[in-house]
Amino acid sequence: MSVDLSNVRNIGISAHIDSGKTTLTERILFYTDRIHAIHDVRGKDGVGAKMDSMELERERGITIQSAATYCNWKGNDINIIDTPGHVDFTVEVERALRVLDGAVLILCSVGGVQSQSITVNRQMDRYNVPRISFINKCDRTGANPERVTEQLQDKLGLNAHMLQLPIGLESELEGVVDLVTMKALYFDGDNGEIIREEEIPADLQDAAEEKREELLDAVSMFSDELMEAMLEETEITTEMVKDAVRAGTLALDFSPVFIGSAYKNKAVQPLLDAVEYYLPCPTDVENLGLDLEKDEEEFPVTNDSDDPLIMLAFKLEDGRYGQLTYVRTYQGTLNKGDTVFNTRTGKKVKVGRLVRMHSDEMEEIDSCGAGDIVALFGVDCASGDTFTDGKITCSMSSMHIPEPVISLAVIPSDNKAQVNMSKALNRFTKEDPTFKTFVDHETGETIISGMGELHLEVYIERMKREYNAEVEVGAPQVSYRETISARADFNYTHKKQTGGSGQFGRVAGYMEPLEEGEYEFVDKIVGGAIPREFITSCDKGFKKSLEKGTLCGSPVTGVRCVINDGAFHAVDSSDVAFQLASIGAFKEGYMKAKPAIMEPIMKVAVEGPSEFQGAVMGSINQRRGMIIGTTEEGNYTVVEAEVPLSEMFGYSTTLRSLTQGKAEFTMEFASFKPVPKSVSEELVKKYQDERKEK
């Protein structure tokens, strides 16, 4: 099967919370005839926007899970992933960006570039995603697209230039001037579906010419043809400008800016045209696979539907009809009924049903080719798995998954709730790699951990709503880590004789801090001091010890355990004996290795009027925060700081009262750092008291 990939666009829609990306997606679906009526995010009709399919999303007016949809615009197949704006759901954004070829960055014309836009932009940089910007909400009071474009340049470092000028602003917004075609565009009809092209209004003619000159100057470096035409003062065609903008955008050296108001149905169609003109098709970007037969050597995938199949599962969902797996095909063709291989597990899986997703509705298809984003039914796998047709052994590069930073205990109210909770947790952990769960063996409590308070709150709500699992929730706890800061030797003998065959094992060696990674086991045993079959037992013993450190009961990370000597007994040595000997050895070495407690440090950005700068900085200082810097722009200031997560509980209330509700903050995980001595002593004491009580 051969599909013209130049007509395929896989794009993401990313932005700061409440910048209107779900509303925009709704309009896109309407103009491309995928839906026949427009519903608002928090609309009075109670239907909710198409892409916010989860009940909770509709209630809160935010996008939690990214939904995938497909539309066709002027003969181009566009796959769209609508991604969440809240930082707690970052993994959803990251996954989407991994499989997309281009993105639309949505900004609010009043709020401009906010801290979450900076996070999203950084993620796009990480995956080399070409992007165009859409400055939305130009109908709102205080709208200033030029200021937002300047912010794109200053704050995000993008070579951003407007390709349109607004005709009127705020409540006077009528349409836009296209600086490429030099025409005025108006959007008539009940839903702005009729585009009226006119001459540029006389009062905007000069401004439009000036802005076009600036635009041509900026993009001429991406096209020799355009540069020549400008120098020789010959005719500059629309195509020349478009080609230059496209070349600059694909090279990530230029970022075109469009403006409009999705809510007022203004200038959404030109944005769709821009997706077609300026964002890459699958063959325009280089995606690299890892050849597992050549020591994970990188190779570019071909994007050819006739080549062996390679596809990446980037999102799982447990729906009404079983597990739904979203995949991006990088090369080859997948037909309904084909058998594919999971390169991680080596398992063969038959693809029974193949669907194209349209938010929570689906459309059955028979096959999909290179560059497509589709969903498979009944394929058991984890997020990030690569599938091939067996003719090639490769994996697509792994995705960056952040460590959870916050946890809380969930206690089911009765046996029924217990069963339902288990089902729910099983599903959530498969769907979301940043959501983790485990049972605390000492307390018997189920602990869930994730990326922030809202992240966990959403899962608790989903447990209640979707699984009818009534649970009580403990107070949120920070996920501390323990680590060691010095090298220490151990030499421990486990000996037990209680009648019958006994237990014997001696493990000697040392532990030392590991610069990168969580744990490493090194076997330096010579001369059979510990028989081969018990080496893995030692590894297991150390791994068990890492689950809970002795300072505050948190997991231990950053440790290299090296064994270089030991002893065994022909009869009494066993797997269990060496595991217990290693646990003893770890305990012995750990206290000598200067253990320390590490806490998650969050990068916090508080934005608000400059008059509150002092109060904001004071509040951060009181929370053991380190202020990195302040940015003052007119009457608005952003304070950036690093603050321990444990000090950030309840900060939104404090900030509200300090700033009359005029400031807002965002935070994201930055790093783990050692806690100060006083806090460490407090945590150790608390842990010891808890243990005594049990």
Collapsing DSSP to helix, strand or coil, 314 comes out as: strand
- The answer to the question of residue 628 lying near another protein (CB under 8 A) is yes
Shortest reach from residue 617's CB to another protein, in Å: 6
295 Rama sector, left if φ>0, alpha if ψ -120 to 50, beta otherwise: left
Q: Which stretch binds another protein (CB under 8 A): 67-75, 456-464, 561-569, 628-636?
A: 628-636
- The answer to the question of residue 627 lying near another protein (CB under 8 A) is yes
Q: Which stretch binds another protein (CB under 8 A): 341-349, 356-364, 615-623, 686-694?
A: 615-623
Shortest reach from residue 628's CB to another protein, in Å: 6
Convert residues 666-685 into a mask of x (bound to another protein by CB under 8 A) and - (unbound): -------x------------
The one among 444, 528, 629, 650 contacting another protein by CB under 8 A: 629
User: 146 or 380: whose CB is closer to another protein?
Assistant: 146
d(Cα 349, Cα 334) in Å, to the nearest integer?
12
User: 487 or 673: whose CB is closer to another protein?
Assistant: 673
d(Cα 218, Cα 193) in Å, to the nearest integer?
32
- The answer to the question of residue 468 lying near another protein (CB under 8 A) is no
d(Cα 3, Cα 266) in Å, to the nearest integer?
33
User: 151 or 407: whose CB is closer to another protein?
Assistant: 151
CB-CB contact of 32 with 39 (8 Å): no
User: 189 or 618: whose CB is closer to another protein?
Assistant: 618
The one among 142, 300, 402, 618 contacting another protein by CB under 8 A: 618
- The answer to the question of residue 594 lying near another protein (CB under 8 A) is no
Q: Which residues contact 93 (CB under 8 A, 6 or more apart)?
A: 12, 14, 66, 83, 84, 120, 123
CB-CB contact of 616 with 631 (8 Å): no
By residue count, the chain amounts to 694
Which residue in the block uniquely carries the two structure tokens 């001369």?
527
The one among 614, 682, 686, 691 contacting another protein by CB under 8 A: 614
Q: Which stretch binds another protein (CB under 8 A): 66-74, 286-294, 559-567, 630-638?
A: 630-638
Shortest reach from residue 511's CB to another protein, in Å: 18
Written in H, E and C, the secondary structure of 73-115 is ECCEEEEEEECCCCHHHHHHHHHHHHHCCEEEEEEECCCECCH
User: 268 or 638: whose CB is closer to another protein?
Assistant: 638
Q: Which residues contact 682 (CB under 8 A, 6 or more apart)?
A: none
User: 471 or 601: whose CB is closer to another protein?
Assistant: 601
User: 575 or 633: whose CB is closer to another protein?
Assistant: 633
141 burial via Cβ count (<10 Å: 0-12, 13-18, 19+):
exposed
- The answer to the question of residue 621 lying near another protein (CB under 8 A) is yes
User: 251 or 626: whose CB is closer to another protein?
Assistant: 626
- Dihedral angle sign, alpha carbons of residues 656, 458, 114, 627: positive
What is the 3-state composition of the chain as percent helix, strand, coil, each rounded to the nearest 5? 30, 35, 35
Shortest reach from residue 609's CB to another protein, in Å: 13
User: 197 or 632: whose CB is closer to another protein?
Assistant: 632
- The answer to the question of residue 514 lying near another protein (CB under 8 A) is no
- The answer to the question of residue 517 lying near another protein (CB under 8 A) is no
Shortest reach from residue 635's CB to another protein, in Å: 9
Task: Give the other-Cβ count within 10 Å of 127's Cβ.
Answer: 18
Site size toward another protein (CB under 8 A) is 19
The one among 443, 501, 631, 652 contacting another protein by CB under 8 A: 631
Collapsing DSSP to helix, strand or coil, 489 comes out as: strand
Q: Restricting to residues 13-32, name those near another protein by CB under 8 A.
A: none
d(Cα 271, Cα 145) in Å, to the nearest integer?
15
Distances (CA, A) of 277 to 25, 73, 256, 272: 18, 12, 11, 9
201 Rama sector, left if φ>0, alpha if ψ -120 to 50, beta otherwise: beta
d(Cα 400, Cα 198) in Å, to the nearest integer?
48
Phi, psi of 656 (to 5 degrees): -60, -50
Q: Which stretch binds another protein (CB under 8 A): 281-289, 353-361, 500-508, 625-633?
A: 625-633
- The answer to the question of residue 251 lying near another protein (CB under 8 A) is no
Local structure of residue 473 (DSSP, 8 states): E
- The answer to the question of residue 626 lying near another protein (CB under 8 A) is yes
Shortest reach from residue 151's CB to another protein, in Å: 11
CB-CB contact of 34 with 71 (8 Å): yes
- The answer to the question of residue 640 lying near another protein (CB under 8 A) is yes
Q: Which stretch binds another protein (CB under 8 A): 85-93, 216-224, 584-592, 622-630?
A: 622-630
Local structure of residue 28 (DSSP, 8 states): H
Q: Restricting to residues 144-203, name those near another protein by CB under 8 A.
A: 154-155
- Dihedral angle sign, alpha carbons of residues 337, 341, 342, 347: positive
Shortest reach from residue 641's CB to another protein, in Å: 10
Shortest reach from residue 285's CB to another protein, in Å: 26
Q: Which stretch binds another protein (CB under 8 A): 211-219, 428-436, 571-579, 620-628?
A: 620-628
Q: Which stretch binds another protein (CB under 8 A): 137-145, 239-247, 354-362, 617-625?
A: 617-625
Q: Which residues contact 345 (CB under 8 A, 6 or more apart)?
A: 381, 385
CB-CB contact of 432 with 91 (8 Å): yes
Shortest reach from residue 150's CB to another protein, in Å: 10
- The answer to the question of residue 617 lying near another protein (CB under 8 A) is yes
What are the tokens at 310?
């390679």
What are the tokens at 297?
């050597």
User: 140 or 155: whose CB is closer to another protein?
Assistant: 155
Q: Which residues contact 398 (CB under 8 A, 6 or more apart)?
A: 384
Q: Which stretch binds another protein (CB under 8 A): 123-131, 198-206, 468-476, 627-635?
A: 627-635
- The answer to the question of residue 488 lying near another protein (CB under 8 A) is no
- The answer to the question of residue 486 lying near another protein (CB under 8 A) is no
User: 577 or 663: whose CB is closer to another protein?
Assistant: 663
Q: Which stretch binds another protein (CB under 8 A): 402-410, 425-433, 576-584, 613-621?
A: 613-621
Report the candidate in 150, 183, 191 with the shortest Cα–Cα distance to residue 167.
183
List interacting residues with another protein (CB under 8 A): 154-155, 613-614, 617-618, 621, 626-634, 638, 640, 673
